[in-house]
Chains A and B, each alone.
Chain A
Amino acid sequence: MKYVLTGVMLAAMAFTSCRKEKENVIPAPLTGNLAVNVDYHVDGKQLYFDSLIYTNAAGNQYSVTKVHYYLSRFRLYKEGSVKYASDTIIYVDAEKAMNFSFRNVPAMTYDSMSFHIGLDEAQNKSNSLPATAENVNMGWPDVMGGGYHFLKLEGHWLDSSKKLGYAMHIGNNGFLVRAGAKANIEVNGGKTANCKLMMNINEWFAHPNTYNLAADGVYSMGNAPLMKKLSENGGDVFGLE
């Protein structure tokens, strides 16, 4: 009897412990994080600031001294449907390392990402962003329509043998850059996936419009046709790795 009782107790304990184990199985989280790093190149060459060593599609030899811009309205897609959306606004100074992340991203494999270079009409109003030094410096004067610069891309270029400057600035509603890139981003529940946004500076001067600094002009601010060209070219400046 004693042995039977002990056997029953052991069986009960075993059953309970097994059940406990079963109860403790934590289901895989449904979301993970996505860490994004932003980097630069010029048709595959590393970007060195203030170096007159790059050539664009029009054959202009040029350097880069400044790349400041906003990224906003991120969307992640799978088979053409938006599966994740973030309206975070990111200010980027290309001379500084830039890493940011999205939290609670549904776990799945995404095949593309879209975002804006610049700010939506609702956000592109003077003093609508927090008054950080960066945002103040990106201000687009009220007398020119107000809001913020979407992009400041500046540097020098060689016109024959003369070194001149260029300032590709975009702002004003209507010139928002709708950018995107194909991706293969696998976000696993409870984990952080990584991806890298790579801006090819040369793409600002090509596709669909070949931008020739000698013929088109070196100063785009307030010049609607030039800002339109640049805005259209900006759609594919980023690749995703």
Chain B
Amino acid sequence: MRTSRKILHGLAVVATCIVLAVSCKKESTPPTVTPQDTTYKLTPYEIVMPAHFPEMYIPEDNKPYVERIELGRMLYYDNILSNDGRACASCHFQSHGFTIPGMVNDMPVLSHVNLAWHGKFMWDGSKSGTLEDVMLFETQEFFATNLEKINSSEKYRKLFKQYFGVDYITHHEIAYALAQFTRTMISKDSKYDRYMKGAERLTYNEEMGMRIFFSEKGDCFHCHTAMITTDGQMHNTGLDSVYTKEMDKGYYNVTKNTSDLGKFRTPNLRNVALRKFYMHDGRFTTLEEVVEFYNSGVNRVSNIDPIMTKEGKENGLNLNAVEKQQLVAFLKTLTDETFITDTSFSKPSF
């Protein structure tokens, strides 16, 4: 009798543990989105890695599929994401390298290009993680997507059921679909890319500009690394000596560490010539102005990036007029016409 009580007690403990384990798992694990969850046959998609780009992180639970990428593209262009008529594409025009010729909240919009290689997002690095993480922020907080609205769409209910195997669409599946699409938005066919592959020659001025860019003369390459054109890190490049506006404080607003004052994430330079505003507050409107700042206008603030304090270049690069033009000429070789006209990134027919 005593023994059977012990056995019963033991069984009860084991059962409780199993129940707890299962319930904990349900709460902490995001909905599974493997194709096994759906009877719809998904088509695997292979992301072709450009030569010499860093390896791309793709989460195990969001491997690329043609159908999910297409669904992400539909969402990217659909104002159903927001409650005020905006879609991602409202501020990210393909013709401008997926940014806009304007500003939002007094800030230029960072371009959606090669996002898959980013670990920090936003000018001030306030968002970090995977593309899935940042897209979850976009749908859940930035757009505050109305789930009732999207679930009342027969089209989306059907597509999410087919592609993600869910009966009710949550921010999680929306984020995953957006991440699928944005992960494919890769710029890899600029003149610079073709030059690096030996498929095209640069002009003399472009070549000289590249030498300035990739040598200690211009020293752009330490932050704007080869091919990917960003190290993804936060830097103070001496833009301001006094941080009058909150937005000028940059990464400090995230960490509250004074050594992070004025630090901003290195922007990607692909299609940089298509932009209308430069720096975190759009204070410059031409590439020539940007180059002139780095040439003569750098403020020697106490936490300026150490790379920018070379003797004789404390306030700028001291390039002559021709060298400045050559640097701009090279920057223009980063324009990727293929990327800005690729129909697989364009607005789909709904």
Q: Which residues of A come within 8 Å of B, CB atoms?
A: 50, 65-66, 127, 130-133, 135-137, 139, 141-144, 154-156, 162-167, 217-219, 221-222
A131, B232: Cβ atoms closer than 8 Å:
no
Q: Kindly state the separation between the CA atoms of A142 and B198 in the bound complex, as whole angstroms.
A: 14
Interface contact A141-B215, CB-CB below 8 Å? yes
* Cβ-defined partner of A217 (8 Å) among B225, B311, B314: B311
Q: How distant is B299 from chain A, measured CB to nearest CB, in Å? A: 13
- In the complex, the answer to whether A218 meets B311 with C-beta atoms within 8 Å is yes
Contact across chains for B306 and A141 when beta carbons are under 8 A apart: no
**Given A133-B54, A136-B54, A156-B306 in contact, is the A142-B214 Cβ separation under 8 Å?**
yes
Q: Which B residues are CB-close (under 8 A) to A144?
A: 214-216
- B149 interface hit (Cβ, 8 Å): no
Q: Tell me which of B119, B228, B310, B314 has the highest count of chain A C-beta atoms within 10 A of its own C-beta.
A: B310
Which residues from B are CB-within-8-Å of A139? 221, 225-226
> Is residue B7 contacting chain A, with contact meaning CB distance below 8 A?
no
Option from A137, A142, A156 in Cβ contact (under 8 Å) with B302: A156
Contacts of B89 in A (CB 8 A): none
Shortest beta-carbon contacts, A-B, top 9: A165-B306, A165-B309, A141-B214, A219-B310, A154-B306, A133-B54, A163-B302, A222-B216, A136-B54
Known contacts A132-B55, A139-B226, A165 near B307 by CB under 8 Å: yes
Whether A50 pairs with B215 at a CB distance below 8 angstroms is no
Given contacts A131-B54, A167-B306, contact A136 B228 (CB under 8 A): yes
Q: Are B214 and A133 touching (Cβ within 8 A)? A: no
A221: which B residues are within 8 A, CB to CB? 216
A156→B302 CA distance, assembly (Å): 8
Kindly provide the distance from the CB of A162 to the nearest chain B CB, expressed in whole angstroms.
Answer: 8
Q: How far is the CA of A79 from the CA of B305 in the complex (A)?
A: 46
Write the B228-257 contact mask toward A (1 if CB under 8 angstroms, else 0): 100110000000000000000000000000
Q: How far is the CB of B235 from chain A (nearest CB, A)?
A: 11
A130 near B55 with CB under 8 A, answer yes
- Within the complex, the shortest CB–CB distance from A203 to chain B, in Å, comes to 19
The answer to whether the Cβ of B53 comes within 8 Å of any Cβ in the partner chain is yes
Contact of B221 among A50, A135, A141, A155 (CB under 8 A): A141
Which of B55, B259, B300 interacts with A50 by CB under 8 Å? B259
Alpha-carbon gap, A144 to B300, bound state (A): 27
Interface contact B214-A156, CB-CB below 8 Å: no
Residue of A nearest to B257 (CB): A50
Task: Choose among A130, A143, A164, A167 the residue that contacts B215 (Cβ–Cβ < 8 A).
Answer: A143
B212 to A, closest residue via Cβ: A143
- The contact of A131 among B55, B214, B259, by CB within 8 Å, is B55
Q: State how many angstroms separate the Cβ of A36 from the closest Cβ of chain B.
A: 25
Is B227 engaged at the interface, CB distance under 8 Å to the other chain? yes
Contacts of A66 in B (CB 8 A): 306
- Which residues of A are found within 8 Å of B227, using beta-carbon distances? 136
- A141 vs B227: C-alpha distance in the bound complex, in angstroms? 11
Q: Select from chain B the residue with minimum beta-carbon distance to A162.
A: B300
- How many Å from the CB of A12 to the closest CB on chain B? 43
- What residues of chain A lie closer than 8 Å to B306, measured between beta carbons? 65-66, 154-156, 165-167, 218
Do B54 and A143 have beta carbons less than 8 Å apart?
no
Query: What is the chain A residue whose CB lies nearest that of B228?
Result: A136
Q: How far is the CB of A171 from chain B (nearest CB, A)?
A: 11
**Complex interface: chain A residues within 8 A of B309 (CB):** 164-167, 218-219
Q: Which residue of B lies closest to A152 (CB)?
A: B222
**Complex Cα–Cα for A127 and B55 (A):** 12
> Known contacts A165-B309, A218-B309: does B232 contact A133 (CB below 8 Å)?
yes
Which B residues between 254 and 304 are near A, CB-CB below 8 angstroms? 259, 300, 302-304
